C-alpha cells in the first residue's frame, strides 16, 4: 500500500515555529500550493508547533482531497525549543492520537508513525499500540521513525508497517541497510533531512552546474533515482522554494553524474 504516487512529499514542520506560525496566512498558502503542485503526501507530527502544525494543515486543506495522505507522528515530546525526548508509554501514545484526530479533523489518521522508540518502554508495547490503532480503525496505516533493521523486523511481527522515516541523504547514508530492507518488503522509505540542510558534498554543486539546477534539486533527484521506495519530504516555508523542490522530479541524472555523486 503506497503512501505517495507522486514520490515527493512535503515536510510541514517549517510552517510553524516553536509554537505558532509567524505568518499564518503565508503558511496556509504554502500548504495549499504543495497540493496544487501535485504533492500527495504531507508529513507532520503532534510535536511540531505543539500541535499547531496539525491545526494549520486542517485549516488549509480540510476537507482533504481524496488522493492526499497526511502522515502524523507521536512518541517524542518537545519540552522546549531544540529539545526532543522520546515518550512511548502506551497511554501517552493513545492520548496523542486522540489529539491528532481532533486537530486534523478526521475520524481516522491516514498514516500514524511512532516518532521514536522509547528506550524506557518495551518496544513490543509500543508496537502493540500501533497494531491496536489499525484494528480500532483509528489509523489506516502505521509506520516507524529512526529504527534499525532489527527493530523494523520486530515491529512487523505485530503489525504491517507502511513506512519508515529515517535520516538519510547524499551526505549521510548510515541507514542503507534499512533502505534495502524496505525495498525488499515494499515499505515506503521517507528520508528526513533529505538535503542535509545544504551541507552536501562538492560533486553535488558540480552536477548542479552541469544541469543548470540547484544543489538541492540534484540532492532530491538523486534520492528519487536511488530507490523506488524513496519518498523524500523536503520542507520549506516559501512557495518559491517549494516549487523549486517539486521541480526536482523532472531532473534526469546521467550515468556519469550518478557515478560522480557516488
- Active-site positions? 48
Of 242, 230, 236, 176, nearest to 38 by C-alpha is 242
Contact 82, 53 (CB under 8 A): no
Scan for cell 507530527, then name that residue. Answer: 45
The owner of cell 533493521 is 149
Q: How far is CA 250 from the centre of its chain?
A: 21
CB neighbours of residue 250 within 10 Å: 9
Is the sign of the CA dihedral 225, 27, 172, 146 positive or negative? negative
Distances (CA, A) of 182 to 10, 150, 205: 20, 12, 29
d(CA 54, CA 71): 10
Amino acid at each position: 500500500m503506497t503512501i505517495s504516487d507522486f514520490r515527493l512529499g512535503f515536510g510541514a514542520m517549517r510552517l510553524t515555529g516553536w509554537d505558532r506560525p509567524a505568518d499564518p496566512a503565508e503558511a496556509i498558502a504554502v500548504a495549499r500550493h504543495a497540493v496544487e503542485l501535485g504533492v500527495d503526501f504531507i508529513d507532520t507530527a503532534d510535536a511540531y508547533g505543539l500541535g499547531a502544525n496539525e491545526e494549520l494543515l486542517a485549516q488549509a486543506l480540510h476537507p482533504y482531497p481524496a488522493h492526499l495522505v497526511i502522515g502524523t507522528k507521536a512518541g517524542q515530546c518537545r519540552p522546549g525549543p531544540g529539545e526532543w525526548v522520546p515518550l512511548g508509554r502506551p497511554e501517552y501514545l493513545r492520548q496523542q492520537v486522540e489529539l491528532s484526530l481532533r486537530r486534523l479533523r478526521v475520524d481516522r489518521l491516514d498514516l500514524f508513525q511512532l516518532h521514536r522508540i522509547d528506550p524506557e518502554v518495551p518496544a513490543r508495547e509500543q508496537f502493540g499500540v500501533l497494531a491496536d490503532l489499525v484494528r480500532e480503525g483509528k489509523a489506516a496505516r502505521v509506520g516507524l521513525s529512526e529504527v534499525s533493521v532489527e527493530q523494523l523486523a520486530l515491529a512487523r511481527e505485530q503489525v504491517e508497517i507502511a513506512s519508515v522515516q529515517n535520516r538519510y541523504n547524499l551526505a549521510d547514508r548510515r541507514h542503507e541497510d534499512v533502505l534495502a530492507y524496505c525495498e525488499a518488503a515494499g515499505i515506503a522509505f521517507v528520508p528526513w533531512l533529505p538535503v542535509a540542510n545544504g551541507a552536501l558534498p562538492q560533486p553535488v554543486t558540480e552536477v548542479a552546474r552541469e544541469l543548470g539546477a540547484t544543489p538541492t534539486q540534484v540532492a532530491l533527484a538523486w534520492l528519487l533515482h536511488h530507490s523506488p521506495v524513496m519518498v523524500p519530504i523536503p520542507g520549506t516555508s516559501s512557495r518559491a522554494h517549494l516549487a523549486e523542490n517539486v521541480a526536482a522530479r523532472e531532473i534526469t541524472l546521467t550515468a556519469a553524474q550518478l557515478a560522480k555523486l557516488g
